Structure 1
Amino acid sequence: MRLSKDQLVEGIPAEQARELMRIYRVNPGLTEFAVDLLEVGEADAEKLLERFVEAGYLEIAERDRNGVAWWFTTIRGNALANASFAKPITRATAQRHLDGFLERVRTYNADRSKPYSVTRVTVFGSYLDSTQDRLGDLDLAIQVVRRGSTEEYLKRRDAITAASSRRFGSYFERLVWPLRELGLYLKDRKPAINITDEDVSALTDQWSNVYDIRADESAEQPPENATVEGLS
């Protein structure tokens, strides 16, 4: 999804709307999060959040007996959270990005030292509209799973962290670094590449699978029923 900075989303600036979705994606929670971000009263914040519900960006859990609401993002809301303000790219540039992305997927999957496998890559969004030559970004959905037995997976994951020169602020940061490293490697600092791990078939009927690990002879094949990892 691409936005312009002068655009409004449900009545608020696009940058604020994206930040709002990022907050509720990471920490589903109370109306107070919107109060603090938008600097409005609770009643106004709740009316705004209800508009985002009606537009399909948020869902609301059943209110408790005190009438307190609990908000969380939908797939569409997560897409807004990942929206880009980058300039449009040409179809030729998008194709180069896609070719490079798939090559990095194949390289990663062929490396026997890695703890994960990218089992599927799906392209969706404006790339699939052949009538468009100027595209907002390259929207890709991937599935990532753990490799090997639990013991082998943990050994590889910890080796990746030990080999890193990064300084980690917490145990959790150390724990998730190998998965974050994978995401950074695949994106390759390309702002026009937008990656999600969600089921895009629930978001749109315009999608196409462009990589399946089962057809990749150089890849280390993960075990059946391998644990699926979430990117966020």
Structure 2
Amino acid sequence: MRIPRNSVIAGVTASRVKKTIQSIGEQRAASTPELGSRLGLTEPKLSRTLLDLARQRFLVYSVHSQGQDWWTVGQGGLRLASARIGNPITRAQADRLLEGAVGAARAINADDRHAYLVERLAVFGSYLQRDADELGDLDVAVSITPKPNPPGRSLMREAKDRFSARSWSERVYAPYREVLQSFRAVGQSLSLHALEEIAALGCTYEGVYAYDGEAGRELDPAAVAWPDEQKALAIEPDPIIIPMSPACIAPRPAPPAPTDPDAGRPLRPPDRKGAPASQLDLTVQHQWVQGYPVSEIRQFHASGLDAWTDDRLRACIANLYDAQ
């Protein structure tokens, strides 16, 4: 899946939404202030944007806890997280990439420095639509297996020894990753997948390269066995849960703007580059937008807000409403 460069999703660049979705995947769920820090948004635009992303199934509303809304990744978000951001390619470019992938497979199989061999190579996706002149990318499925050892040699041990300076876990997987890297060097528009997984998902594919490691020779792709395409599983779409959170449907207006410019200074500096404010500032503003009084917002943060007066908190909140 490839998304055109400069695409916009819910008013935010697709690349920024993708990075935000990927950050949720690592921790399984994220609060509205955390997402605001990554998307570069403050309330009330922040919660409305998240609601828009939920309606498009990029996000799923999870729960309201500790004065904050929490979100998980939807099916659209999973697809976006694995998508490539870039311009489409022509069929001629895809043909050249496929030639390069087959060439990479032959080079890997002929080089005893590699501990793995490429047993099968197939194409699937938009490349099989013969009337399509523009493709998102070239989807290639590959089956990789350990090479037979020549007499008196252990190709796997030799390959691991080349990475002796790395940690034990890196050495274990380095020979496999080395093979994958050879394919990725063919071009950024080549999207690599495991053949067995593609078959299990029911994807239609076409074999383009086959190799017999024991005999050490190429085979006719049309004359060898390939993994059977399984019946694709029916996946129910994510339910679109419209949160009854005030931040999403009826955000509370900003408090009066401070008359003293210094009163609205941030509580803390931003935690990361590109963030509109610190996590603390965004959380306090989000809780205000939900309708919580300042006294209750203080309770959510225990003693973390004792250094600031109520007027200072309101002033900070008011200033964030302008940070759009």
The TM-score with structure 2 as length reference comes to 0.49
Q: Tell me the C-alpha RMSD between the 2 structures.
A: 4.4
2:183 to 177, 183, 186: 186
2:16 aligned partner, one-letter code: Q
The TM-score with structure 1 as length reference comes to 0.64
Percentage of pairs with the same residue = 26
Cα distance, 1:28–1:157 mapped onto 2, change above 3 Å: farther
- State the match for 2:125 in structure 1: 125
- Please report how far the alpha carbon of residue 195 of structure 1 lies from its aligned counterpart in structure 2 after TM superposition: 1.2
Gaps of 5+ in 2: 219-324
Cα deviation, 1:144-179, whole Å, max 9, x if unaligned, reads: 334569xx99x53442243359x64x5444443222
Number of residue pairs matched by the alignment: 208
- Please report how far the alpha carbon of residue 101 of structure 1 lies from its aligned counterpart in structure 2 after TM superposition: 0.6
- State the match for 1:38 in structure 2: 39
- Please report how far the alpha carbon of residue 16 of structure 1 lies from its aligned counterpart in structure 2 after TM superposition: 1.8
Is the radius of gyration larger for structure 1 or structure 2? 2
Question: What is the rounded CA distance, in whole Å, between the counterparts of 2:60 and 2:213 in structure 1?
Answer: 38
Cα distance, 1:41–1:23 mapped onto 2, change above 3 Å: same
- State the match for 1:6 in structure 2: 6
2:38 aligned partner, one-letter code: L
Question: What is the rounded CA distance, in whole Å, between the counterparts of 1:47 and 1:116 in structure 2?
Answer: 47
1:208 matched to 2:192? The reply is no
Gaps of 5+ in 1: 221-232
Question: What is the rounded CA distance, in whole Å, between the counterparts of 1:108 and 1:173 in structure 2?
Answer: 20
Question: What is the rounded CA distance, in whole Å, between the counterparts of 2:10 and 2:126 in structure 1?
Answer: 22
- Please report how far the alpha carbon of residue 47 of structure 1 lies from its aligned counterpart in structure 2 after TM superposition: 4.6
- Please report how far the alpha carbon of residue 15 of structure 1 lies from its aligned counterpart in structure 2 after TM superposition: 0.3
1:38 aligned partner, one-letter code: L
- Please report how far the alpha carbon of residue 98 of structure 1 lies from its aligned counterpart in structure 2 after TM superposition: 0.4
2:181 aligned partner, one-letter code: L
- Please report how far the alpha carbon of residue 185 of structure 1 lies from its aligned counterpart in structure 2 after TM superposition: 0.8
What SS class does the counterpart of residue 105 from structure 1 fall into?
A: helix
- State the match for 1:109 in structure 2: 109
Cα deviation, 1:1-32, whole Å, max 9, x if unaligned, reads: 2212332346642102322344355x252225
2:207 aligned partner, one-letter code: N
Cα distance, 1:219–1:23 mapped onto 2, change above 3 Å: farther
Cα distance, 1:38–1:70 mapped onto 2, change above 3 Å: closer
1:16 matched to 2:16? The reply is yes
Question: What is the rounded CA distance, in whole Å, between the counterparts of 2:146 and 2:132 in structure 1?
Answer: 37
2:29 aligned partner, one-letter code: L
Question: What is the rounded CA distance, in whole Å, between the counterparts of 2:105 and 2:157 in structure 1?
Answer: 21
1:197 aligned partner, one-letter code: A
